[in-house]
Structure 1
Amino acid sequence: MRVTKFLAQKVRVRFAPSPTGHLHIGGLRTAFFNYLFAKKHGGDFILRIEDTDRARFVEDAQDKIYEALQFYDLKPDEGPREGGSFGPYEQSKRLEFYQGAVDQLIDSGHAYRCFCPEHRLDLLRKSAEKRGEIPKYDRKCANLTKSEGLRMAESGEKFVIRFKLDKQNVQFHDEVFGSVNQCVDESDPVLLKSDGYPTYHLANVVDDRRMQISHVIRGMEWLSSTGKHHILYKAFNWTPPKFIHLSLIMRTATKKLSKRDKDAFVDYYSEKLGALPEAVLNLMIRNGAGIRDFDQDHFYSLEEMIERFDVGLLGRRNLLLDSDSLQKYSRMAFQSADFETLYPRILRLLNGKFEVPDKEYLTSGEFSWFFARPKSSQLLHDLNLENLDACLSDLLELEIFNSETLGQFAQQHQMPLAKAQGIVRISLIGSKKGPPISELVEFFGMDECRKRIETMIRLL
């Protein structure tokens, strides 16, 4: 019953980053879960650029956002480049909507023009701090009549629009954190700045309403603002969307991920680590977040994630960025990818830094093992060994391939260590040449190594 009501209207969700610099890994996760939810329910995934903070605006940041979404295959249905029926999709081009919204609030008595100069506001702040109180605006301009405020504005006096925010308790439901109670006791917030640009709270509420957003999926850091947003919705007499707040991303169990951390930003994973996008997306769900029947040893494609996504399974457990898990998923991503998918990504990652061999060389030359399992057992036959099946079966029993375990294996089968290593190398990559076995094990992981030996047994 709750699920039916929860999805009573068409699903429309939005990813709304600010173009103020590099895209944060938390931003990617927000986009990812919005995308999963939209595609699971046949809805729309919208990109909205929140570019009203002109002081922090970065010229090419929107291009970087699009590059990231394209790299991770999270393509918007509507946005600045895609268009749509609810545009423009950049807030700097929607100023008329915000002006109309504050006019509505002024007319209803929920907002007012404030003409107080900055030096007076500074005095109020300093006075409150001396008394050990939270600074609050004293509502001097709230006492102006509408006609007085309009006359002062028309005469050219500089002003902002403030919202009348009385102290109150707000209760709302969040799909992850359940029933939330907040005591909102703040100064009357500025909704529209003197330059005509909105603050985040106004633009967020107005745009979500006008774009018919059904569900707001965002990071937990915005949970504390949700009570204020509910008050704004009530002042407009609008029904708020459903709210879904995602848990925090942590550096360690007790330390949040900082913007000073190099892996806090999306381009670190693609440009520096060369991680395939599917590996990073699997890292995002490694707690089983939102995935039905989650298997930690399974590597999920984006299509599988969409099919198995269930917002009711999103947990409150924080996501820990674990490098070991990322390495595990990176190996699995490489093993599951086909060459036609990998090759353009290799070109992109190397980005002119090295000369890249052409497709034919990579797929037929000495590096073909990089992209496929061995397809012939002939080289093993060339070793002129008896009981090859027994040798390979014994290799399957080893916990790890290293000089010690292979040395014991060689003694057991009365062969030189070099020949034992040759059996392993041929079974893994179909060649007598190649990287050291320790590097192959690190690259493939032992599970894949065993699968390749099982393949060789079948080929025999």
Structure 2
Amino acid sequence: MSDTPSSRPVRTRVAPSPTGDPHVGTAYMSLFNLGFTRQQGGQFVLRIEDTDRARFREDSEQQVFDTLRWLGLTWDEGPDIGGPYAPYRQSERLETYQPYVDRLLAEGKAYHCWCSTERLKDMRDEQQRRKLPTGYDRLCHGKTREERAELPGFTETPVVRMLIPDDVELTFTDLIRGQVSAPRPDDQVILKADGFPTYHLAVVVDDHEMGITHVVRGEEWISSTPKHVLLHRWLGLEAPAFAHMPLLRNTDKSKISKRKNPAARLTWFQEQGYLPEALVNFLALLAYPPVQDEEGNDVEVFDFDDFSARFAWSKVNPVGPIFDLKKLEWLNGVYIRKLTVEDLAARLLPHLRSAGVLPDAPSPEQMATLRAVTELIQTRMAMLSEAAALVGPFYVADDAVEVADDARAQLKDDAGEVLEAGTKALEAVGEWKAADLEAALRAALVDGLGLKPKFAFGPLRTAVSGQRISPPLFESMEILGRESTLARLRRLRATL
């Protein structure tokens, strides 16, 4: 089965609707579109399908631009950068659709429908009550406006519906699934009463007008594909190749949605501190096998270029993948550890600013501290948002360190004695370096008091960071310095 429908240069598109926060599925579809397109040396188009004016949200379009760019899934043509087939917003293309509608009406392949929403609801309720297939009953077909106005449930402004023939072809070829059978479609509305096209007409016209060769979308559109194939045929247009991607699933196998799962929102991954390269890797693995090394071993950590170079539609798994956040956290940790300290510190800044740990314009001294702390915590994070709790204690005044409840609860009865002995040992240290600090404290607490390291250093960790879990203790003390470290130990001792 060929990946290209003809000799035309490959052109793909992603076409989100600006009706809220961008869905993670937009990135998922963009990745597979773009991976194939870049491999083929083609063009990737971003088109905004904003004909649903009731749910339109003004800021949503910019969020689509921002999040896809954050992921590195960039486009060659789109509303923000233009291109030879502009405009790329459907609301700005309304005059494009009308000639196609007029042609379908003139050839008897579409008809006006004046049924009110109340009449359509009653019709569907009755069909469901009688356990009949739901669908329009063609009351308006073949009638003039005047004839229809004499019947109940009439509304002044009509919609336009396709006239689906009884012998419509219900199978088509899918690049992922092979021959696919779909249920017989209803007489679909293709032009709404407000003059806006529905998805089914607009997608066919826009894909044709923009030269799209491959339509890659979610499997929920399989049932609509016969309508689209039929419209292409009626209008004498060359149909694109179709590839219907498996839907992303929750752990209970339900479709992932923004109403039920915050991870369905693409912006959520930024807020939580996932790296874009980790998310791209994860989205690829959801429906595509790992790449293989020269020995034939699976390699799950790979970048976009690896994915694109080896891409083939035949390898896409059609079974709906489970959105396993634990796998994503593991991948994110791998990518965090691959960063340089400088790069990781820079990526931590937005999260530390939003948490109030650092100001918008940190001083050189604050940045130096951040780089030093980043080196300590790089292996201790799965998400960037976790850094605030680890980094925060280095930027608070010594008398403002808050001791967390779980940290205070693990202090034993001898914590005061440990803090006193530790303070005395540190006061005698000459050069304030982590190795010297560790040696002094081990001599005083492990050897001197006979404590196990866990019990010897726990109270000191609590005093220094306020946390039960913190960056490495001796390195943290070195970064804080002599004065702050001793002040924090004395302060906790005074509260016991």
With the shorter chain as reference, the TM-score category is 0.7 to 0.9
Distance 1:251 1:75 in 2: 27
Contact 1:190–1:199 (Cα < 8 Å) also in 2: yes
Q: Residue 50 of structure 1: CA displacement?
A: 0.6
Say whether residues 1:94 and 2:93 are aligned partners.
yes
Q: Residue 129 of structure 1: CA displacement?
A: 4.0
CA distance 1:350–1:327, shift in 2 (3 Å) = same
Distance 2:437 2:310 in 1: 47
Contact 2:176–2:314 (Cα < 8 Å) also in 1: yes
The equivalent residue for 2:369 is 361
Structure 1 stretch displaced more, 348-357 or 172-181: 348-357
AA paired with 2:337? Answer: Q
Distance 1:81 1:24 in 2: 20
Say whether residues 1:313 and 2:319 are aligned partners.
no
Contact 1:338–1:371 (Cα < 8 Å) also in 2: no
The equivalent residue for 2:275 is 276
AA paired with 1:355? Answer: V
The equivalent residue for 1:346 is 348
Matched ranges for 1:47-446 at <5 A: 47-144=46-143, 157-167=156-166, 168-186=168-186, 188-252=187-251, 254-259=253-258, 260-271=260-271, 273-287=272-286, 289=288, 292-293=291-292, 297-339=299-341, 341-356=343-358, 358-363=366-371, 365-370=372-377, 418=453, 432-434=474-476
Q: Residue 122 of structure 1: CA displacement?
A: 4.2
Secondary structure at the aligned position of 2:170 is classed as strand
CA distance 1:328–1:371, shift in 2 (3 Å) = closer
Q: Residue 362 of structure 1: CA displacement?
A: 3.0
Name structure 1 gaps, 5 residues minimum.
150-155, 373-377, 385-409, 423-428, 436-460
AA paired with 1:174? Answer: D
Secondary structure at the aligned position of 1:324 is classed as helix
Q: Residue 103 of structure 1: CA displacement?
A: 1.0
Secondary structure at the aligned position of 1:433 is classed as helix
Q: Residue 115 of structure 1: CA displacement?
A: 3.0
Secondary structure at the aligned position of 2:112 is classed as strand
Q: Residue 63 of structure 1: CA displacement?
A: 1.1
Q: Residue 359 of structure 1: CA displacement?
A: 4.0
Distance 1:85 1:147 in 2: 44
Name structure 2 gaps, 5 residues minimum.
149-154, 380-432, 440-445, 458-470, 478-496
Distance 2:282 2:53 in 1: 34
AA paired with 2:76? Answer: D
Distance 1:229 1:25 in 2: 25
- Normalising to structure 1: TM-score of the pair? 0.74
Distance 1:60 1:18 in 2: 12
Q: Residue 54 of structure 1: CA displacement?
A: 0.4
Q: Residue 360 of structure 1: CA displacement?
A: 3.4
AA paired with 1:77? Answer: D
CA distance 1:209–1:430, shift in 2 (3 Å) = same
CA distance 1:381–1:173, shift in 2 (3 Å) = farther
Higher Cα Rg: structure 1 or 2?
2
Kindly provide the CA deviation profile for residues 105-145 of structure 1, in whole angstroms up to 9, marking residues without a partner as x: 11222112223444444454344344432344343433147
How well do the aligned residues superpose, as a CA RMSD in angstroms? 3.4
Contact 1:292–1:309 (Cα < 8 Å) also in 2: no
Secondary structure at the aligned position of 2:225 is classed as helix
Distance 1:370 1:277 in 2: 20
CA distance 1:349–1:101, shift in 2 (3 Å) = farther
AA paired with 1:313? Answer: K
CA distance 1:380–1:433, shift in 2 (3 Å) = closer
AA paired with 1:268? Answer: W
Kindly provide the CA deviation profile for residues 419-446 of structure 1, in whole angstroms up to 9, marking residues without a partner as x: 9x99xxxxxx9984359xxxxxxxxxxx
Secondary structure at the aligned position of 1:30 is classed as helix
CA distance 1:114–1:233, shift in 2 (3 Å) = same
Distance 1:44 1:80 in 2: 15
Q: Residue 183 of structure 1: CA displacement?
A: 3.6
CA distance 1:341–1:236, shift in 2 (3 Å) = farther
Kindly provide the CA deviation profile for residues 48-86 of structure 1, in whole angstroms up to 9, marking residues without a partner as x: 111000000111000111111111011111111010011
- Normalising to structure 2: TM-score of the pair? 0.69
Secondary structure at the aligned position of 2:172 is classed as strand
- % identical aligned pairs: 34
AA paired with 1:222? Answer: W
The equivalent residue for 2:395 is none
Structure 1 stretch displaced more, 11-20 or 30-39: 30-39
Kindly provide the CA deviation profile for residues 281-323 of structure 1, in whole angstroms up to 9, marking residues without a partner as x: 2221235606543865542122222223222211123221112
Distance 1:239 1:291 in 2: 35
